[in-house]
Amino acid sequence: MRTPLIAGNWKMHKTVAEAERFISGLLPLVYAADGVDLAICVPFTDLQAMVDSTRGSRVSVYAQNMHQAPEGAFTGEVSAAMLSEIDVHGVVLGHSERREYFNETDAVLAEKLLAARSAGLAAILCVGETGQQRDEDETEAVLTAQLDRGLALLDAEALAELVIAYEPIWAIGTGAVATAEQAQEACAFVRSRVAAVHAEAAESTRILYGGSVKSDNAAELLGLPDVDGALVGGASLEPESFAAIAAAAVS
Ligand code: PGA
């Protein structure tokens, strides 16, 4: 009932020339990948080129951040309307790197989610605990705080269409992937928090796992009942590995 989503998070990688090389390598590989939604989350400078190069394909294009205000004196920022004007499909919000290095708070993320929705952008909200928080048995408390505050401004329809990426910070870029049991438990918990706001919507909300997803561990993670896809960092930078993960989502 929930179509899997495989989203590649390029972070601060790829010039336009490199992005064009990537997409011309990827499109033939995913041409026939039925039953899975694909997205690439790219730096601002790559957005227009990737929107143009993916038009008519099964790959949608997401930004990696945006500002919550419609416009204003916010030097260096980009608004939701600026993204939707150039046919960007959506935006990743609250990645742990943005929370850590750019001070993104749950309250600001709640506003960003609302602004994205008002501009017609899809959104992927990232949540997850640090290694220390997991060791101290705080995972559920951390997820509860991030979700209760982050989702505060969304109605049921927005919740149903939202994508939430559970990304344990200790697994991001480390090669230390969560076990199937940890991933399922956390993603089921995320769904239960959405259900606490709106039970019916939570059945439609897609929940992704992220953190060292590779072609050789994707099938197991993507087969878990509450995992509806993956947010992929390092392995999304090469067409072959990204396409292999997409294939694992439908096998
Ligand atoms: P990774 O990154 O796949 O390289 O661990 C995931 C992410 O940061 O979204």
Q: What is the pTM of this model?
A: 0.97
CA atoms within 13 A on the CB side of 19: 25
Contact 18/50 with Cβ under 8 angstroms? no
Domain boundaries, the chain: 5-250
Catalytically active residues are 95, 167
- Please choose from 9, 62, 101 the residue to mutate so as to test ligand 1's pocket, defined by most ligand atoms within 8 A of CB: 9
Query: Residue 33: its pLDDT value, please?
Result: 84
Q: From ligand 1's centre to the CA of 99, what distance in Å?
A: 14
234 CA closest ligand 1 atom index: 4
Contact 184/227 with Cβ under 8 angstroms? yes
Which CATH fold would you assign to the domain 5-250? Answer: TIM Barrel (3.20.20)
Separation CA 53–CA 159 (nearest Å) = 30
For the chain of 251 residues, list the mean pLDDT of each consecutive stretch of 10. Answer: 96 98 97 93 98 97 98 98 98 98 98 98 98 98 98 97 98 93 98 96 98 96 97 98 96 73
213 CA closest ligand 1 atom index: 3
Query: Residue 251: its pLDDT value, please?
Result: 73
Pocket of ligand 1 (CB under 6 A): 9, 167, 172-173, 210-213, 231-235
